Homo-oligomer: A and B are copies of this chain.
Amino acid sequence: MIEEQIKPRFSETDALGHINNTVVAQWFEGARDPIFKWFTPDLSLNNWQLILAKTIVEFHAELQYGECVEIKTYISRIGNSSFDVYQEAWQQGIKCASGTAVMVNFDYQTKKSKKIIEAVVEKMQSHRINSEV
């Protein structure tokens, strides 16, 4: 599991008084940085290796401004060229949101998906979660 602390920003609230739902997707993408580095260690954009195929976010409880949020990131599926990242946003002991990003290892030159190399698969396995909790 990879953990990251987020401090919600005032600009991330919406008129209902909580964090806007679309912000959670930004937090989750930000917390996938360590995974991006497995594929592109220097995060160089000329050597980017991933595309996002799908995102799912479930909203369990309201996220508040004024309290830190913990993002927990796991690998929930390891395919041949694609994989799933499962993430949770916790605030004050409550799981407020969870989601899955389906990512594909992608060759931007040939515009084709490509097999995930073994060294990366091993890293994935060390952050594996079996079922989405």
Interface, chain A (partner B; CB < 8 A): 4, 7, 9-11, 13-18, 20-23, 25-27, 29-30, 32-33, 36, 42-43, 45, 48, 51-59, 65-66
Contact = CB atoms under 8 A, between A and B. Distances in A.
A18 B20 CA distance: 13
Contact of A11 (B22, B48, B54): B22
25 contacts: A7-B30, A9-B26, A9-B30, A10-B14, A10-B29, A10-B30, A10-B32, A10-B33, A10-B36, A11-B26, A13-B15, A14-B14, A15-B17, A15-B18, A15-B65, A17-B45, A21-B25, A25-B25, A25-B55, A42-B66, A51-B59, A52-B59, A54-B56, A55-B56, A56-B56
| Identical subunits present | 4
Contacts of A13: 14-15, 20
A67 B27 CA distance: 16
A15 B47 CA distance: 12
